[in-house]
Structure 1
Amino acid sequence: MVNQLLNVGWTIVGFFPVGYFWFLQGIHWPFYVLLLLSVASCFFPEAIYRKLDVSKNQRVYRRLGVKFIRRFAQDGDFQAGNGIGIKNYLKKTQMFERYHFCCLIFFQASSVYACYNEQYILAFTIFICNIIYNVYPILLQQYNRIRIVKFLRQHNL
């Protein structure tokens, strides 16, 4: 239950500046084009997402602060044997990564469009929310995947 409340809270905070921008701007064709482009990214092959991985080394993610951030994320601190099957959790990380990548594209495109419309403070706010709400969760999914694959190799699974 706490995980879900945390998730809803972060989503409201993350989406507020984007929603506010589009409320001020009005929902016209640019909104639909940007939304369509971002949703299309959900259908990229898994190989493309793997090419976007920051590193194959856990230390890189730790240096980026992922180990600290994972305390604030839903299911961020995965532990083997916590009731979720490892293979199911791997699929869940892929789903979360795709969702946040889709949002990342939409947030960033909205930020650029806000700059185009000379709404610089709002563009900067969207950019910062994009880092917190999308970039770090993507990094977290990549980090957890490295940890899980390492665990599977250690236990010959």
Structure 2
Amino acid sequence: MPAAEPRRATPSPAVVAFCNAVPNVLWSVLSLVPLVVFCYQHVARPWLYGFVALSLLVYAWPTAWLRHLQLSARPAVYRKLRVPALNHLTQHGTLVNRLLRHRYPQYQYLPPRANLAKVVSTSYHLERFHWVMLVYFLLTTGYAVALGHWGWAGLLSLLNVGYNLYPIWLQQYLRLRLRQLPRLG
């Protein structure tokens, strides 16, 4: 009988990527399916292409602009809005990390301090993505209002807050928390 393979102390990058993809796919399906349905059924194609083009311009925003758009320099403001609660159900969030640590007790998401710059850079990338989507949702919501589709406008607004505004605030909050870590000497 062959000997059992030793249990890995940490998960493979593929396992980590898969576990973190699950909440991304879940939130994206819940938010984007209604948006796609509305766009397919009601948005004229030239308007749709224009909304996409305008939204994608946000990717060109410099990081300095994102810093100016930050809600607050105080983590307490984000806590008052319950932004940290969102971190339980996101990629690299509390739930995903807890599940990974259950199977791989030595797993830690936060990299060594030398790699924190990469975490900050990634947070700006994620924030930009959600700004792009926020602008697209706003344009589409405005289109729904112009057509008198008030139910769609309400739903798209609600989804925009949950899928884009709160994730933007979460990235800002996480960067504030990273700044509070003691500096290496």
TM-score normalized with structure 1 length? 0.91
Q: 1:82 to 1:132 in 2, by over 3 A?
A: farther
Give the CA RMSD over aligned residues: 2.0
Partner of 2:51: 34
Residue matched to 2:139 = 109
Percent identity of equivalent pairs: 26
- Mapping of residues 1-150 of structure 1, within 5 Å: 1-76=18-93, 80-81=110-111, 85-150=115-180
For 1:125 and 1:131, the matched residues in 2 are separated by: 10
Shift of 1:3: 1.9
Return the offset for 1:13. Answer: 0.7
CA displacement, residues 40-74 of structure 1 (integer Å, 9 cap, x when unaligned): 01101111111110001111111111111110111
Larger radius of gyration: 2
The 1:143/1:104 distance shift into structure 2, 3 A limit, reads: same
Structure number with greater CO (CA < 8 Å, separation at least 6) is 1
| CA distance in 2: counterparts of 1:83 and 1:75, whole angstroms | 17
Gap regions ≥5 residues in structure 1: none
Q: Between Structure 1 and Structure 2, how many residues are aligned?
A: 155
Q: Given residue 137 of structure 2, which amino acid in structure 1 is its aligned partner?
A: F
Native 8 Å contact 1:41 1:98 kept in 2: yes
Distance 1:5 1:82, change over 3 A: farther
Contact 2:55 2:136 in 1 (8 A): yes
Q: Check the 8 A contact 1:38/1:103 in 2, yes or no.
A: yes
C-alpha distance in 1 between matches for 2:120 and 2:73 = 16
Q: Which moved more, 1:94-103 or 1:84-93?
A: 84-93
Contact 1:61 1:143 in 2 (8 A): yes
- Structure 2: unaligned runs, 5 residues or longer: 1-17, 95-107
Counterpart of 1:23, as a letter, is: Y
Partner SS for 1:49: helix
CA displacement at 1:76 relative to structure 2: 3.7
Matched residue of 1:54: which SS? Answer: coil
